[in-house]
Amino acid sequence: MTRALHLALALSLLAAVVLHSQQSAEDATARAVKYLAREVPRWHTDEGCYSCHNNGDAARALMAASATDPAAIGVALADTFKWLADPPAWNRAVVNRGVDNKILARIQFAAALTDAVARGDAPAAALAAAADMVAADQEADGFWRVDTGDNVGSPVTYGAALATAMALKALVASERAAVAPAIARAHGWLIRAPLRAVPDAAGVLLGLPRASTDDAKVGARRRAADKLFAEQSARGGWGPFPTVAAEPFDTALAILALQTLAAGPARDRAIASGRAWLHSTQYADGSWPETTRPAGQVSYAQSISTTGWCLLALSESGPGR
């Protein structure tokens, strides 16, 4: 066989692998969209209230994947957009099956509202009100306390670093001078935040501005990125710790966090491997196994939020993003 034929065969094989990867990503995204487009509106229909998992995390994921099936996603989110546009109502929400973490709920709804405003599906005035509400929940040290314990963040508890990053999403987007001190305090806390687990490192990368030239912020982002690169498993996923099995939530967070870095071989390989791991762990119905702490528990809320984060990661990464 000639060298030219060897080269042609190699290029053909590479093209087939790339095409298969793109098709797998499209299939995984389409399945997840179909699943969440069904589940997001069901909560309010069945329970008579709005959920920070369905109408927060999962709604953000559907907005990010809206090009997949615009008509279906528009129908699925119509009621959510009305809810998000009325921040004062968030404080009057019915307690969801005994779970009442209004600080976390306000952060989740405000993050979803931020994306809805950017799309033109909610008024900017609503974001200003939401930003004021979120800023009022900030601790004096600069972070948002969403869990009274010292547990590793999960899809329904976030943890301090991720909660702070998601709170910043709404505050920064609101462009309100009144919340500028809160933004500065949050950045200061993230610079000093201990990187105990993958959600901590992801929160630092997602919360600190990627274009900053401030040495402290650049250094904090570099330390967080180094942790994520070092703790990726051989199969491509991430667990909360390198000694713990990979989980969908941690993997999705790591992909989204690494996506904030400049493109390069190491970053691109890590993201591609993480995406492949997510593809391999998706259920046939389009959802992912819920990430719980400890692992192996059954939780609808965890399942919805986990699937939302995984769909968000696939939508926000990949070729051309």
Q: 3-state SS of 87-128?
A: HHHHCCCCCECCECCHHHHHHHHHHHHHHHHHHCCCCHHHHH
Q: Is residue 91 part of a domain?
A: yes
pLDDT for the residue 287: 98
Global pTM reads 0.90
pLDDT for the residue 148: 64
Query: Mean pLDDT score of the chain, rounded to an integer?
Result: 90
Taking residues 79-106, report their average pLDDT. 82
Residue pair 318/259 in contact by the 8 Å Cβ criterion:
no
pLDDT for the residue 35: 98
pLDDT for the residue 150: 67
Taking residues 172-199, report their average pLDDT. 98
Q: Is residue 1 part of a domain?
A: no
Evaluate if residue 96 carries a pLDDT over 80. Answer: no
Evaluate if residue 246 carries a pLDDT over 50. Answer: yes
Taking residues 215-238, report their average pLDDT. 98
Taking residues 30-46, report their average pLDDT. 96
pLDDT in tens, 133-157: 999 999 999 999 997 666 799 999 9
Q: Is residue 321 part of a domain?
A: no
Q: Is residue 12 part of a domain?
A: no
CATH of the domain at 174: 1.50.10.20
Q: Is residue 7 part of a domain?
A: no
Tally of domains in the chain? 1
Q: Which domain holds residue 129?
A: 21-316
Q: Is residue 14 part of a domain?
A: no
pLDDT for the residue 187: 98
